[in-house]
């Protein structure tokens, strides 16, 4: 492997989109580039990026002398560059060569900081040996929305890769997995992000170039050029075109120059198959649904109502993006790989992978908060999001409250049983657990205290704010970060405690948000903050003193660490937050000063850092009191608080978080049998096969499938939408549509008989009425029915004992219903009745006792829905051009399992058969897919009829390559 080639200083202009084109003037680079510490040089990158410099780097991706679990990265980098292949150990085995004891082996692998105090299980060293039954490959494939780099493109040249801002802890986790310190091999899969054309790629006068890269500096020396008005201006370029060679070059660069294998996902608008060229147009659209709908709602904000068209389009793009991620991962997948999926951009990915590989190992971690069910219910695609997540084997959250909210949503919205341990869904147990993420504590400490530039800046800040106590806040420009609440509380503090006037300064750094902002909200937040700063400084400041120093910018790494070291108080007032890593970095940087940390109880970090001073950011007076309390802490109190916080942050670092998550996932995989899991129906695959098929067979149950279960069976009449949907489906000459129900002939004739194209089967296959026929065929004409009198006697006995139960007499079967009875007592009586029937009638006659949805049914043993399904399939013939090439079978209860069994035993190819069980109960089934309720059934059938709705428009976009123009 060639050594990494850092970008030269001349290429350090970031290719990221310029966020300032339409932004508030206060966010313009001319304002945000002002240094916090005047008089000190501006070396370094941002507070989240390791600058590309020429300082010597270790050939290993960690410092063995100071490493805590995992490698010792730069705390603010994402991937530490690795040395040449000859210098880098190829595996943990190579690192372990020559170890004379188990303790030395663990120290070499950087798995324990103190071998005398900690014990490690086998999973820390060799996961495959620890869990032999899982047949692990030893590889983790991480799926993240973007790769760790902002990417610049110039045709035919090497791609420009600059570190991407944001989520440093997560990228440190990937760095750890890719290092020799981890027992895993690692691949990172992520979108390229918005690719930017470099200035050399097009003339600066290009309209497209201005649109994609932001401001273009005019050439002031250029004279005006006459324009011929008779000639139309040339059309602007329609986007960025990238050929196969350039795409391959990027993939090779990512694999060659950076730690671990990084595989890009190409999200394109068009692809020319002849030239193998892709076209990128509106690249930011892949973010819109996640950042405008999900991020907003997950942080307890609600968007203004709109007509629905934009939401429909953004949802379709969100679905397509997750589908393309699934395709890319499956290209790389090997049996035994663990798929580790991250955050709200990829909530559908677990289920999309589960559709294709039912036994795949999937862990998911949500880095942002999860809302309560009362708020989550406002999300229009609430069911699809939950179903997507439940494709994972284990789902992790930052705090217990977020995990509890998720489980509650699965119960309230999908009807699945749940507990604090997880959710029982689709025939399997999906584990739910809490894993507060940490930072690379050792690397953070080394950087904060090991750089002479930082020491110089620390000194400059102390001189700048001499004889003043410094309160530091560092937040994103987002209303949920609580900057306005912080300033208002500080204003109350100055009013309430005048003795601190001239003695305290609040240094507030506000950097641009990592998500695509709502510009109107952005401007409102900026204006609010600016007004508050001006008001506070105008009221309590003077020519020599400004109590608030506000810096709306990214900080250099050196300035960031210097501020954290110099601070007397860290103040975080988030009103809704996941894991706030600034608080963790503050604790590390306060090793000498031992300043107290004031932390919002609404941050995911609050439960993680119990020793901090917790505040409610909405209680402005309470925050003011907490500031005063923190300023008056004695050195002993500060030391006691900091010692506990420091120990916690050091021990619960990002490497430990990564290991703990994967070990818990493996434990859950070993503990719960996932082989019976039934994923949700893959609408994309179903629609694609339907369009290819020429001979299609449909078999639908009625109660609980086409219509909801109701207390009075006679009230379960089909809606107008159900009738119209079935009639449209059956009108296609290539479709044979059958209703196979436990209902009697009279009911089916009354409500379905007028659709002459439908085939009907009554009483679980005892009677059949073929399409375009009025005659019913009795398949049980010669059957001995003498058993019925004994069954009636037993049913009558239990009817008298069970208030609300009743008997339904059909021509062939007898059914005892208890859906109107008390649920618990009715179920108890049903079990007693079933035992009596099986001991008596079941032994004397060829009948079987079937349990259904709140009923018991006795029928001849040879009569079941499976026989009808078998008969219908065989009627086509068995030749390659005779058998149906699309079969959709839907049912909700035990009696429908016979149909699923018959289809499994047929010779039809698996990709042609869609056997779908319906209902929220987490049952083990012979079906291959799952839908939650009858409404989903009608939506799926409507999709085949060419009528997409907001829920299935994503499948249409994937199969047809376009999004239907509709708001419905």
pLDDT given at position 225? 46
Whether 569 and 472 have beta carbons less than 8 Å apart is answered as yes
Span 491-539, pLDDT tens digits: 999 999 999 999 999 999 988 776 765 666 667 888 889 899 999 999 9
Burial of 911 per CB tally in 10 Å (0-12, 13-18, 19+): exposed
Residue 769 has pLDDT above 70, yes or no: yes
Residue 293 CB partners (closer than 8 Å, separation 6+): 303, 311, 314, 315, 379, 381
C-alpha to C-alpha distance for 685 and 929, rounded to whole angstroms: 12
Fold: same for 441-652 and 786-860: no
Residue 126 known to be catalytic: no
pLDDT given at position 906? 92
Rounded to an integer, the average pLDDT of 287-292 is 92
Residue 932 has pLDDT above 80, yes or no: yes
Nearest one of 526, 547, 549 to 536, comparing CA atoms: 547
Q: How is the chain split into domains, by residue range?
A: 139-196+241-434, 441-652, 683-779+865-967, 786-860
pLDDT given at position 937? 95
Rounded to an integer, the average pLDDT of 947-960 is 86
Confidence of residue 9 (pLDDT cuts 50, 70, 90): very low
C-alpha to C-alpha distance for 594 and 726, rounded to whole angstroms: 71
> H or E element: which one contains 139?
strand 139-146
Radius of gyration from C-alpha coordinates of the chain = 33
pLDDT given at position 533? 92
Confidence of residue 104 (pLDDT cuts 50, 70, 90): very low
pLDDT given at position 475? 86
Rounded to an integer, the average pLDDT of 415-442 is 90
Residue 27 CB partners (closer than 8 Å, separation 6+): 19, 20, 477, 512, 522, 526, 552
Residue 332 has pLDDT above 80, yes or no: yes
C-alpha to C-alpha distance for 940 and 951, rounded to whole angstroms: 9
Rounded to an integer, the average pLDDT of 174-196 is 92
Distances from the Cα of 89 to the Cαs of 94, 320, 822, in angstroms? 6, 39, 67
Q: Is 311 helix (H, G, I), strand (E, B) or coil?
A: helix
Report percent pLDDT > 70 for the chain.
81
Which of 462-471, 737-746, 916-925 is predicted with the least confidence, judged by mean pLDDT? 916-925
CA dihedral 730, 733, 735, 739 (to 10 degrees): 40
Fold for the domain defined by 786-860:
Alpha-Beta Plaits (3.30.70)
Residue 39 has pLDDT above 50, yes or no: no
Distances from the Cα of 739 to the Cαs of 510, 751, 849, 888, 892, in angstroms? 62, 11, 22, 12, 13
Homologous superfamily of 683-779+865-967: HAD superfamily/HAD-like (3.40.50.1000)
DSSP designation for 545: B
Rounded to an integer, the average pLDDT of 857-874 is 88
Whether 20 and 28 have beta carbons less than 8 Å apart is answered as yes
Residue 302 has pLDDT above 50, yes or no: yes
> H or E element: which one contains 197?
strand 196-197
Residue 216 has pLDDT above 80, yes or no: no
C-alpha to C-alpha distance for 839 and 842, rounded to whole angstroms: 6
Whether 190 and 265 have beta carbons less than 8 Å apart is answered as yes
Residue 432 has pLDDT above 90, yes or no: yes
DSSP secondary structure, 12-33, as one string = -S--S--TTSSS-GGGSHHHHT
The first and second tokens of residue 199, run together, are 């200035």
Span 714-737, pLDDT tens digits: 788 899 999 999 999 999 999 999
Which of 25-39, 207-221, 295-309, 593-607 is predicted with the least confidence, judged by mean pLDDT? 207-221
pLDDT given at position 108? 43
CA dihedral 37, 43, 49, 51 (to 10 degrees): -170
Secondary structure E strands in 354-498: 361-365, 394-397, 417-419, 422-425, 428-434, 469-476
Confidence of residue 781 (pLDDT cuts 50, 70, 90): confident
Confidence of residue 420 (pLDDT cuts 50, 70, 90): confident
Nearest one of 262, 239, 234, 88 to 159, comparing CA atoms: 262
Whether 285 and 320 have beta carbons less than 8 Å apart is answered as no
pLDDT given at position 114? 44
Strand partners, 814: 809, 858
The CATH architecture of the domain made up of 441-652 is 3-Layer(aba) Sandwich (3.40)
pLDDT given at position 679? 87
Q: Tell me which of 433, 701, 892, 898 is the catalytic residue.
A: 701
Secondary structure E strands in 779-928: 806-809, 814-817, 847-852, 855-860, 886-891, 913-918
Span 22-35, pLDDT tens digits: 454 444 544 444 45
Span 792-840, pLDDT tens digits: 999 999 999 999 999 998 878 899 999 889 989 999 999 999 999 999 9
- Does domain 139-196+241-434 match CATH 3.40.630.30? no
pLDDT given at position 235? 55
Whether 318 and 349 have beta carbons less than 8 Å apart is answered as no
Which of 156-160, 233-237, 473-477, 550-554 is predicted with the least confidence, judged by mean pLDDT? 233-237
Residue 709 has pLDDT above 80, yes or no: yes
The first and second tokens of residue 9, run together, are 């200083």
Mean pLDDT computed over every residue of the chain: 82
Confidence of residue 686 (pLDDT cuts 50, 70, 90): very high
pTM over 0.85: no
Span 575-601, pLDDT tens digits: 888 888 899 999 999 999 999 999 999
pLDDT given at position 544? 87
Q: How many other C-beta atoms can be found within 10 angstroms of the C-beta atom of residue 143? A: 28
User: 481 or 95: whose pLDDT is higher?
Assistant: 481
User: 364 or 785: whose pLDDT is higher?
Assistant: 364
């Amino acid at each position: 492997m060639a050594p990494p080639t850092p970008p030269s200083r001349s290429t350090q202009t970031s290719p990221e989109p310029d966020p300032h084109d339409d932004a508030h003037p206060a966010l313009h680079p001319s304002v945000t580039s002002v240094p916090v510490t005047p008089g000190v040089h501006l070396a370094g990158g941002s507070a989240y990026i390791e600058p590309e410099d020429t300082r010597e780097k270790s050939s290993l991706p960690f410092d063995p002398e100071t490493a805590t679990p995992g490698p010792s990265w730069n705390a603010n980098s994402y991937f530490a560059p690795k040395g040449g292949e000859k210098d880098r150990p190829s595996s943990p085995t190579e690192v372990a060569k020559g170890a004379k004891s188990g303790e030395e082996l663990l120290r070499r692998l950087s798995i324990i900081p103190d071998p005398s105090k900690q014990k490690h299980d086998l999973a820390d060293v060799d996961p495959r040996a620890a869990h032999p039954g899982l047949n692990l490959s030893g590889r983790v494939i991480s799926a993240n929305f973007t790769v760790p780099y902002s990417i610049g493109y110039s045709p035919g040249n090497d791609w420009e890769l600059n570190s991407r801002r944001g989520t440093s802890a997560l990228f440190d986790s990937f760095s750890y997995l890719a290092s020799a310190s981890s027992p895993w091999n690692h691949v990172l899969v992520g979108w390229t992000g918005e690719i930017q054309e470099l200035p050399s790629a097009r003339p600066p006068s290009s309209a497209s170039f201005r649109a994609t890269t932001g401001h273009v500096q005019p050439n002031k020396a250029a004279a005006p050029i006459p324009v011929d008005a008779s000639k139309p201006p040339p059309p602007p370029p329609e986007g960025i075109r990238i050929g196969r060679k350039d795409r391959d070059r990027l993939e090779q660069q990512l694999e060659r120059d950076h730690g671990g294998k990084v595989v890009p996902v190409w999200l394109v608008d068009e692809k020319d198959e002849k030239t193998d060229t892709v076209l990128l147009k509106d690249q930011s659209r892949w973010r819109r649904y996640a950042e405008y709908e999900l991020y907003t709602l997950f942080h307890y904000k609600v968007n203004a109502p709109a007509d629905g068209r934009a939401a429909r389009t953004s949802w379709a793009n969100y679905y397509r993006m997750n589908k393309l991620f699934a395709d890319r991962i499956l290209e790389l997948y090997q049996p035994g790989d663990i798929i580790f999926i991250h955050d709200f951009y990829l909530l559908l990915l677990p289920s999309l992978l589960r559709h294709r590989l039912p036994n795949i190992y999937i862990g998911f971690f949500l880095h942002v908060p999860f809302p309560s069910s009362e708020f989550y219910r406002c999300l229009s695609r609430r069911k699809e999001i939950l179903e997507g997540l439940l494709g994972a084997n284990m789902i992790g959250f930052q705090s217990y409250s977020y995990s509890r909210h998720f489980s509650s949503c699965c119960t309230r919205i999908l009807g699945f049983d749940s507990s604090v341990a997880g959710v029982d869904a689709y025939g399997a147990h999906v584990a739910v657990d809490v894993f507060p993420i940490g930072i690379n504590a050792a690397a953070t400490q080394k950087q904060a205290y090991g750089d002479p530039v930082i020491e110089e800046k620390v000194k400059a800040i102390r001189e700048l704010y001499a004889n003043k106590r410094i309160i530091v806040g560092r937040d994103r420009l987002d209303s949920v970060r609580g900057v306005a609440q912080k300033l208002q509380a500080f204003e109350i503090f100055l009013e309430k405690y005048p003795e601190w006037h001239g003695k305290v300064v609040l240094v507030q750094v506000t950097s641009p948000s990592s998500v695509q902002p709502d510009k109107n909200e952005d401007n409102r937040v900026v204006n609010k903050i600016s007004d508050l700063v001006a008001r506070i400084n105008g009221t309590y400041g003077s020519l020599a003193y400004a109590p608030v120093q506000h810096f709306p910018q990214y900080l250099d790494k050196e300035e960031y660490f210097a501020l954290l070291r110099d601070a007397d108080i860290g103040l975080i007032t988030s009103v809704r937050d996941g894991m706030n890593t600034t608080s963790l970095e503050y604790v590390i940087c306060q090793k000498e000063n031992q300043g107290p940390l004031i932390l919002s109880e609404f941050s995911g970090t609050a439960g993680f850092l119990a020793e901090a001073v917790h505040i409610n950011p909405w209680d402005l007076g309470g925050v003011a009191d907490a500031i005063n309390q923190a300023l008056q802490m004695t050195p002993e109190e500060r030391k006691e608080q900091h010692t506990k916080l420091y120990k916690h942050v050091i021990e619960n670092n990002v490497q430990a978080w990564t290991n703990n998550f994967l070990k818990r996932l493996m434990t859950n995989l070993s503990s719960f049998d996932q082989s019976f899991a039934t994923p949700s129906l893959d609408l994309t695959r179903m629609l694609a096969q339907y369009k290819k098929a020429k001979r299609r067979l449909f078999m639908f149950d009625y109660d609980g499938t086409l219509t909801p279960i109701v207390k009075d069976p006679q009230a379960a009449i089909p809606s107008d939408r159900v009738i119209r949907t079935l009639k449209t489906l059956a009108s296609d000459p290539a479709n044979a549509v059958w209703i196979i129900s436990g209902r009697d002939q009279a009911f089916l004739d009354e409500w379905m008989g007028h659709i002459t194209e439908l085939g009907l089967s009554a009483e679980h296959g005892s009677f059949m009425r073929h399409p375009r026929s009025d005659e019913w065929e009795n398949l049980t004409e010669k059957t001995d029915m003498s058993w019925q009198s004994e069954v009636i006697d037993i049913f009558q006995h239990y009817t008298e004992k069970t208030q609300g139960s009743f008997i339904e007499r059909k021509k062939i079967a007898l059914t005892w219903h208890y859906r109107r009875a008390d649920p618990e007592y009715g179920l108890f009586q049903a079990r007693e009745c079933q035992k009596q029937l099986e001991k008596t009638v079941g032994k004397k006659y060829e009948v079987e006792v079937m349990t259904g949805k709140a009923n018991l049914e006795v029928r001849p043993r040879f009569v079941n829905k499976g026989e009808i399904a078998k008969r219908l399939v065989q009627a086509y013939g068995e030749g390659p051009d005779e058998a149906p090439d699309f079969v959709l079978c839907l049912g909700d209860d035990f009696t429908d399992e016979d149909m699923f069994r018959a289809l499994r035993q047929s010779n039809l190819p698996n990709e042609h058969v869609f056997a779908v069980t319906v209902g929220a109960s987490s049952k083990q089934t012979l079906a291959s897919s799952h839908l939650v309720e009858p409404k989903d059934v009608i939506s799926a059938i409507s999709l085949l009829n060419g009528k997409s709705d907001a829920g299935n428009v994503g499948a249409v976009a994937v199969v047809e390559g376009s999004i239907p123009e509709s708001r419905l």
